[in-house]
Amino acid sequence: MARRNNIWANLDWVTISLYLVLVLLGWINIYAAVYNEQFESIFDISQRYGKQLIWIIAAIIIAFTTIILEAKFYVFFAYPIYIIFVFLLLIVLIIGTEIHGAKSWFVIAGFNIQPSEFTKFATALALARIISSHNFKIQKLKSMLSIAAIIGIPAVLIFLQNDTGSALVYVAFILVLYREGLSGVFLFFAILAVVLFILSLIISTFTIFIILAVLSLIIFYFLNQRIKDFGFVLIFLIVITSSFWALKILFLPQLNFSVAIMIGTAFSTILLLFWIIRKRLKKYLILIFIFLGALTFSLSVDYVFENILEPYQQNRINGLLGIVSDPLGADYNVNQSKIAIGSGGFSGKGFLNGTQTKFNFVPEQSTDFIFCTVGEEWGFIGTTVVVILFLLLLARLLIVAERQRSVFSRVYGYSVASILFLHFIINIGMTIGLMPVIGIPLPFFSYGGSSLWSFTILLSIFLRLDASRLELLY
Amino acid sequence: MDKLSRRKFVIIGLFILAGLIFIIRLFDLQVLSPVYKQSATNNVLRKVIQYPSRGLIYDRNGELLVYDQAAYDLLVTPREVRKFDTLLLCNLLEITKKDLLDRLKDARDYSPYKPSIIVKQITPERYAVLQEQLHKFHGFYTQTRTLRDYPKKMASHVLGYIGEVSNEMIEKDPYYQMGDYAGISGIEYTYEKDLRGEKGVEYFLVDVHSRIKGSYREGRNDVAAKTGKNLICTIDSELQEYIELLMQNKRGAVVALEPSTGEVLAMVSSPGYDPNLLVGRPRGQNFQLLQSDSLQPLFNRAITAIYPPGSTFKMAQALIALQEGVITPETEFHCDYGYHIGNYTMACHHNQDFNLNGAISHSCNAYFSYVFKGILEKPEFGSVKNGYDIWREYITSFGFGRKLGTDFYNEQSGSVPTSEYYEDNVFKGTRWRVPTINSLAIGQGELEITPIQMANYAAVLANRGFYYIPHIIKNVGDRELDERFREKNYAIINEEHFEKVINGMEKVFEEGGTAYWTRINGITMCGKTGTAQNPHGKNHSVFVVFAPRENPKIAISAYVEFGGEGSSYAAPISSLIVEKYLTDTISYRRKWIEERMLDVVLLDPGTPD
């Protein structure tokens, strides 16, 4: 029994403090976002801020309960928990209620509960369990497949609920797998593909082409380090490309400038291949292939999207991507969000003085766009503090994860950090126009019981595992 | 440290990279770029619905009947309201302070952020004054609406009126929003979708003083309102006006059709009302008044009132008998001051033999009682009940007892009872006896016919056997007239029988005929008087007529309530309409008829005859 009392002393209070600070800041900003003069009290439970307080208190009780349970419990019941929640995902697909186009809610006694929020920690537990099992080796096909199933099943089910944003979060587990030995190539290509995909929908293909070309040249220079070769390649590219450009002006004036340049460069790159093979610089082949591949990839994403798909299909893909369909033109939401954040300036307009977020210019200002309120009322100082707080929490989670003796706890810790990280980059990235509009909440900040509780459970299980890290070796 | 453990640096590096990118981006957005700060000050985006002007309505000769006038609504967004001079605003709006405060409170209760309408339909004159002062009132602004205006105070029932949409309408059609206007009756209702056009949206940036600073994104998101389609209706406004004049101080209905097209030349329900009464801010009050008026001016008798047809029904009886071979034009029946069979008597005024011509021109009840009996008891039909079913089929082919399918709002079907009705309510299993239902022979009893059905019947007679469904619209913008108005509908009577009946109808205007005194020199009219029995007061005067006999240009049905016999009011009024339409004037020799009709007042039901 003495040991149980020790739990509280063994808990990582740095994480807990960061958690409490973020939840508190979230609450204050929800108050500011939906502030209504008629219901001035922050405790008024007819308003979202009053309700959020109830969610927070409940969350603390949930955290408390989670921590009281034995660490062993989570290890032994990892699979059953996982199965129960996957089952709930199935049920919600059948009898769930549709809210904002996503059929992912149970409405029980007036409360809306979203089971997909809770499958995150269940999946993390199952993943930790399987990776920590004795015969697991990430290079083995069988192990790989079982991981794919554990991560894939909930992701697909959530996707089927039409809640792509939440499904996307499962990409985060690649970071965990990478830490546990998955080849870095996977991580590299996953990041490259995602970045290219998003970029090709946000910025023009030509811009991507320029970035890719310059990046490739720089990499080539660092790999080769011979000024003669570099100069040859550079001049070769420029000569061939500009001759294509000249050809275009002479014979095909109607052809797009950027298309001509891209064809020229692609052609000259293919010519370069022969030069590279002759010069036996085979290790740079991969660079050329990646360059050409990436270019083709983003071109085809763009081409397929713009030319082959009908407008309604484009909308559907936007919908699948979670890019919110927008009656005021594609970037109205993002524009409003950027204006709100930008108008905060260096030090903000002050608490409750935001105008942009209050007059409903920013959509979903208390949930997905809560960061706008931070930006508008607390300025650059406020946003930086929030970003740094999140970075501190993420870093602390990695440190704590790394100090675990059991693989189970470490994998789980990495899962927590990765999930939080993905929410962090997608949500904030969206509000400042660096990501497409994908509706997922900012952890601990956004209004809503389901999301707050799920992140709380996710985090507190890890705290519990960490508190007994010295007891057992799994 | 194992090899994999070093990967934590990659991951943490990724975290920090993302954080750095965010901070750089935020620095750019919040500190470096002035663009967003500036746009925030102007960025109170206001969405203003652009209401399209409603389509205009013209008469068949291009006369404008309905057009739009501008009106303005004052809206408020409670959250944006600052302290203001309530007294000044009250004076500008002509409302009391309490009224204003109540409305503000309602608006706030509805939503502090969304605009609500405070005052509706401000006139352009008042708006001009208000507009100058509006900058003193934060959170208040106006939007333009269009209201109807009627240059001629006529045809109110035909044109109908517009009103605010009800909750059910909003649920049914998401195009509508609270406070929108839509057609409630008449053409405004039937052709609502064509007339209303499409709403547009304009986005404006407004500054902190709620002054418009310009359009949002150079209007790229704006959707222009689409003006409603203009309609050309079939009404001849001059004729309509004339009939309304003739029907003044009387209750009743007149419908005039062009037989060759089914177009409604005029439709009058009396008493009517000035359509301008149901426009603008006094509308609610006027509507109440009109609705509570005992003379029911809002009620369109031409479409919805049901009367027995009276003797005008006799041509249909004759046609069926001719078609079935029950009579020939030469067949004679004796009228002995009526028709007597067993204990049953149908009274009449004559003591002589009548052939078809004479029976129609003298409107002999006995003759048609024999005819009716002949039809129902025709041996080939097997039974009276069967005979009745066949008779009813003929009658409905004239357009009686069912909806014609016109483009009028709230068209009634009237009623020609089915044999089941008599079986259940009259004979109750006993043998069918013709005398029991003999009142049908002369168009009384359970028959319920609307004036437009009656006019359509006149058109069937004029066309010698067919009709086009009566309709009020000639042309909707560039759209073709509905298919159903362009096809002929046939009464199941052979064409050759019509001339025999029409001969009798012409004789109605000859010496000894029931409408002799209303004849017009130079125009061959074919008509028939009728008297619709009225248990609640004096009988209604009924008349159907078409003219001229060859190539008829107009077919009319006229009902004058409490007018007594058909020849006393409905016939002279109809003859005046014919003369006016065909010759554009009333001849000197008939002026006295016109004057008499204009002067007479027939609003009192009197006592039953």
Query: Per residue in A11-29, pLDDT tens?
Result: 999 999 999 999 999 999 9
Q: What is the pLDDT at residue A38?
A: 63
Radius of gyration of chain B (CA): 34
Interface test with A, best of B3, B4, B29, B33 (most A CBs within 10 A): B29
Mean local confidence (pLDDT), B349-368: 90
Most confident of A291-305, B12-26, B31-45, B472-486: B12-26
Q: Is the pLDDT of residue A313 over 70?
A: no
Residue-level pLDDT at B212:
64
Q: Per mean pLDDT, which range of A248-262, A304-318, A331-345 is the poorest?
A: A304-318
Chain centre distance of CA A434 = 12
Which residues from chain B sit within 8 angstroms of residue A358, using beta carbons? 79, 113
Asked if B36 and A184 come within 8 Å (Cβ–Cβ), the reply is no
Residue of B8, B25, B35 lying closest to A434 (CB–CB): B25
Nearest Cα neighbor of A23 from A67, A69, A54 is A54
Q: Which residues in chain B are closer than 8 Å to A355, comparing Cβ atoms?
A: 40, 44
Cβ atoms of B565 and B538 closer than 8 Å: no
Instruction: Identify the pLDDT of residue B44.
Output: 60
SS3 A311: helix
Task: With CA atoms as reference, report the closest residue to B151 among B159, B162, B139, B143.
Answer: B159
CA B546, distance to chain mean position in Å, is 23
Mark yes or no for CB contact B15/A384 under 8 Å: no
B554 vs B263: CA distance, rounded Å: 10
**How many CB atoms sit inside 10 A of residue B45's CB?**
20
Nearest chain A residue (CA) to B205: A361
* Mutation to test the B interface, candidates A358, A387, A389, A396, most B Cβ within 10 Å: A387
* Host domain of residue A14: 2-182+324-467
Residue B273 vs residues B157, B267, B331: alpha-carbon distances, Å: 8, 14, 49
Mean pLDDT lowest among A131-140, B320-329, B356-365, B452-461: A131-140
pLDDT per residue as tens digits for the range B565-607: 888 999 999 999 999 999 999 999 999 999 999 998 888 777 7
If one looks up domain B46-79+91-233 in CATH, what number appears?
A: 3.90.1310.10
Is A305's pLDDT higher than 70?
no
Residues of chain B with Cβ-Cβ distance to A384 below 8 Å are 23, 26
| Alpha carbon distance, N-terminus to C-terminus of chain B | 118
Say if residue A443 is preceded by a cis peptide, omega within 30 of 0.
no
Quote the mean pLDDT of chain A: 81
Query: With the C-alpha atoms ordered A423, A425, A431, A437, is the resulting torsion angle positive or negative?
Result: negative
Partners of residue B22 in chain A, C-beta under 8 Å: 387, 425, 428-429, 432, 434
Sign of the CA dihedral running B171, B173, B178, B184: negative
- The reply to whether A303 and A329 lie within a common domain is no
- A228 and A351 housed in the same domain: no
Strand B57-58 relative to strand B540-547, pairing: unpaired
Mark whether A217 and A341 lie in a shared domain.
Answer: no
Query: Is B30 in contact with A346 (CB distance < 8 Å)?
Result: yes
Name residues 412-471 of chain A within 8 A of B (Cβ): 414, 417, 421, 424-425, 428-429, 432-434
* β partners of residue B147: B69
The H or E element spanning position A121 is helix A115-131
Q: Is B425 exposed, middle or buried (0-12, 13-18, 19+ CB in 10 A)?
A: exposed
Q: Give B167-193 pLDDT, tens digit per residue.
A: 888 888 878 887 788 898 889 999 998
Same domain? For A48 and A148 the reply is yes
For B450, the token pair is: 């609307």
Whether residue B7 and residue A178 make contact (CB cut-off 8 A), yes or no, is yes
Are the Cβ atoms of A402 and B19 closer than 8 angstroms? no
Between chains, do A339 and B21 touch, taking CB under 8 Å as contact? Answer: no
Chain position carrying tokens 């006094």? B282
Q: Please work out, in degrees rounded to the nearest 5, the angle formed at the alpha carbon of residue A252 by the alpha carbons of A250 and A257.
A: 95
Q: Give residue-wise pLDDT tens across range A27-50.
A: 999 888 877 666 677 777 777 888
Work out whether the CA dihedral B414, B417, B421, B422 comes out positive or negative. positive
For residue B566, CA distances in Å to B540, B543, B545 come to 8, 6, 12
A358 and A232 in a common domain = no
Chain A residues lying within 8 Å of B21, measured CB to CB: 434
Q: Which chain A positions have a beta carbon within 8 Å of B15's beta carbon?
A: 391, 394-395, 398, 417, 421
Q: What part of A 351-410 touches B (C-beta under 8 Å)? A: 355-356, 358-361, 375, 379-380, 383-384, 387-388, 390-391, 394-395, 398, 402
Which span out of A82-86, A314-318, A364-368, B382-386 was modeled with the highest average pLDDT? A82-86
Contact B26 A434 (CB under 8 A): no
Query: How far away is chain A from the Cα of B191, in angstroms, using its nearest Cα?
Result: 29
pLDDT in tens, B234-261: 999 999 999 999 999 999 999 999 999 9
Res A322: pLDDT? 46
Is the fold of B46-79+91-233 the same as that of B237-272+299-599?
no
Instruction: Examine the pLDDT at B130 and tell me if it is beyond 60.
Output: yes
Identify the residue with better confidence: B164 or B206.
B164
Tokens of A298: 């983003």
* B417 pLDDT tier (thresholds 50, 70, 90): very high
Cβ contact A383–B43 (<8 Å):
no
- Tell which of A253, A277, A310 closes a domain: A310
Domain B237-272+299-599 architecture: 3-Layer(aba) Sandwich (3.40)
Establish if A315 belongs to a structural domain: no
- Say if the Cβ atoms of B29 and A341 lie within 8 Å: yes
A185: number of CA atoms within 13 Å, CB side?
3
Contacts of B79 in chain A (CB under 8 A): 358-359
- In the listed set A310, A336, A357, which residue is the last one of a domain according to the structure? A310
* B220/A328 touch (CB, cutoff 8 Å), yes or no: no
- Average pLDDT of the residues in B467-471: 95
pLDDT confidence of residue A131: 92
Q: H or E element: which one contains B597?
A: helix B591-599
Q: How far apart are CA B130 and CA A95, in angstroms?
A: 56
Is the distance from CB of B598 to CB of B246 less than 8 angstroms?
yes
Question: What are the residues whose beta carbons fall under 8 Å from the beta carbon of B68, sequence distance 6 or more?
Answer: B53, B54, B56, B146, B147, B148, B149
Measured between alpha carbons, how far is residue A26 from residues A52, A349, A382, B542 in Å? 9, 18, 12, 81
Q: Which of A36, A178, A359 sits opposite B44 (nearest CB)?
A: A359
pLDDT band for position B557 (cuts 50, 70, 90): very high
Count Cβ atoms within 10 A of the Cβ of residue B169 and give its class: 0-12 exposed, 13-18 middle, 19 or more buried.
Answer: middle
Confidence band, pLDDT 50/70/90 cuts, at residue A399 = very high
Q: How far is A181 from chain B (nearest CA, A)?
A: 6
What are the structure tokens assigned to B77, written together? 């967004």
Query: Which amino acid makes up residue B190?
Result: T
Beta strands in B136-216 (DSSP E): 140-149, 162-164, 181-183, 200-206, 212-215
Against a cut of 0.90, is the pTM above it? no
Query: What's the confidence (pLDDT) of residue B113?
Result: 66
Most confident of A221-225, B48-52, B160-164: B160-164
Q: Is there a contact between B203 and A175 if contact means CB atoms under 8 Å apart?
A: no
Average the pLDDT over each of A1-10, A84-93, A199-208, A318-327 and give the range with the smallest value: A318-327
Taking contacts as CB-CB distances below 8 angstroms, the residues of chain B near A417 are 11, 15
Helix (H, G, I), strand (E, B) or coil at A411: helix
CA-wise closest residue to B187 among B228, B226, B163, B156: B156
Identify the weakest region by mean pLDDT among A8-12, B237-241, B416-420. A8-12
Q: Which of these ranges, A117-126, B195-204, B388-397, has the smallest mean pLDDT?
A: B195-204
Nearest CA in chain A to B220: A329
- Band the pLDDT of A314: cuts 50, 70, 90: low
Residue-level pLDDT at A198: 65
- Report how far residue B489's alpha carbon sits from residue B509's, in angstroms, rounded to the nearest whole number: 29
What would the pLDDT profile of B92-105 be if each residue is shown by its tens digit? 888 888 988 898 88
pLDDT grade, residue B408 (50/70/90)?
confident
Rounded to 10 degrees, the C-alpha dihedral B352/B358/B364/B366 comes to 60
Contacts of B340 (CB under 8 A, 6+ apart): none
Mean pLDDT of A357-376: 75
Distance CA B418, CA B399 (A): 15
- Which of A336, A375, A402 is nearest residue B30 as measured by Cβ atoms? A375
Nearest CA in chain B to A410: B5
Does residue A169 sit in the same domain as residue A36? yes
| One domain, residues A22 and A169 | yes
pLDDT at A319 over 60: no
Question: CA nearest B119: which of B280, B275, B279?
Answer: B280
> Is residue A312 predicted with pLDDT exceeding 60?
no
User: What residues of B are in contact with residue A346 (Cβ under 8 Å)?
Assistant: 30-31
Residues in chain B with CB shorter than 8 Å from the CB of A175 are 11, 14
Question: Would you say B543 and B528 are in contact if contact means Cβ atoms under 8 Å apart?
Answer: yes
Task: Specify the DSSP class assigned to residue B550.
Answer: S
Q: Which helix (H) or strand (E) holds A447?
A: none
Identity of the residue in B15, B37, B79 whose CB atom sits nearest the CB atom of A345: B37
Q: Is residue A37 part of a domain?
A: yes
| Region A160-175 average pLDDT | 85
Check whether residue A329 and residue A297 sit in a common domain: no
Residue B262 structure tokens: 């089914």
Q: Give residue ranges of B with CB < 8 Å to any A CB.
A: 4-5, 7-8, 10-12, 14-16, 18-19, 21-23, 25-27, 29-31, 33, 35-37, 39-41, 43-45, 79, 112-113, 203, 217, 220-221
- Does A446 score more than 70 pLDDT? yes
The model's confidence at residue A124, banded by pLDDT at 50, 70 and 90, is very high
Amino acid letter, residue B544: V
Answer yes or no: do B11 and A179 touch at CB < 8 A.
yes
Q: Single out the residue of B429, B432, B398, B428 nearest to residue B416, CA to CA.
A: B398
Is the predicted pLDDT of residue B198 greater than 80, yes or no?
Answer: yes
CB B493 within 8 A of CB B320: yes
pLDDT at A396: 96
Examine the domain organization and report whether A19 and A165 are in the same domain.
yes
Do A300 and A336 reside in the same domain of the chain? no
Read off φ and ψ for residue B70, nearest 5 degrees.
-80, 145
Q: How far is A98 from chain B (nearest CA, A)?
A: 20
ipTM for the whole complex: 0.82
Q: What is the pLDDT of residue B20?
A: 92
Cα(B348)–Cα(B357) distance, integer angstroms? 17
Across the beta sheet with B263-270, the strand order is B263-270, B252-258, B554-560, B540-547, B526-532
pLDDT band at A320 (very low <50, low <70, confident <90, very high): very low
Residue spans per domain, chain B: 46-79+91-233, 237-272+299-599
**Which of B11, B33, B80, B203 to substitute to test the interface with A, most A CBs within 10 Å?**
B11
Inter-chain contact B11–A358, Cβ cutoff 8 Å?
no
Is the Cβ–Cβ distance between A170 and A176 less than 8 Å?
A: no
B154 vs chain A: nearest CA distance in angstroms? 44
Q: What is the pLDDT of residue B322?
A: 93
Shortest alpha-carbon distance between residue B51 and chain A (Å) = 19
Residue whose C-alpha is closest to residue A124's, from A80, A82, A183: A82
Indicate the pairing of strand B344-354 with strand B554-560: unpaired
Summarised one tens digit per residue, pLDDT across range A177-190 is 999 888 887 888 77
**Is residue A194 one of the residues assigned to a domain?**
no
Are residues A404 and A343 part of one domain?
A: yes
Residue A456 sits in the same domain as residue A347: yes
Report pLDDT digits (tens) over B471-521.
999 888 777 788 889 999 999 999 999 999 999 999 999 988 889 999 999
Mean pLDDT of B280-292: 84
Q: What is the nearest CA distance from B176 to chain A, expressed in angstroms? A: 18
The pLDDT value given to residue A293:
77
Q: How many domains does chain A have?
A: 2
Calculate ∠ Cα B372-B373-B375, nearest 5°: 65
In this complex, do A391 and B217 lie within 8 Å of one another by their Cβ atoms? no
Contact (CB<8Å) A342/B203: no
| pLDDT tens string B517-536 | 999 999 999 999 999 888 88
* Unique residue bearing structure tokens 């001009």: B128
**B71 to each of B116, B143, B199, how far by Cα in Å?**
16, 9, 16
Pairing of strands B57-58, B231-233: parallel
Say which amino acid occupies A414: Y
For chain A positions 327-346, those within 8 Å of chain B (CB to CB) are: 328-329, 332, 336, 338-346
CB atoms A432 and B7 under 8 Å: no
Task: Name the phi and psi angles at B383, rounded to 5.
Answer: -145, 160
pLDDT digits 0-9 by tens, B45-94: 667 778 888 889 999 998 999 988 888 888 888 877 878 888 888 888 88
**Residue B261: partners with Cβ closer than 8 Å, 6 or more residues away:** B234, B468
Angle at A9 between CA A8 and CA A10, to 5 degrees: 90
Q: Among A339, A384, A395, whose Cβ lies nearest the Cβ of B26?
A: A384
The two tokens of residue A100 are 């904002």
Residue found by looking up tokens 């067993």 in the block: B342
Instruction: Pick the last residue of a domain from A260, A276, A310.
Output: A310
Choose among B8, B35, B220: nearest Cβ to A398. B8
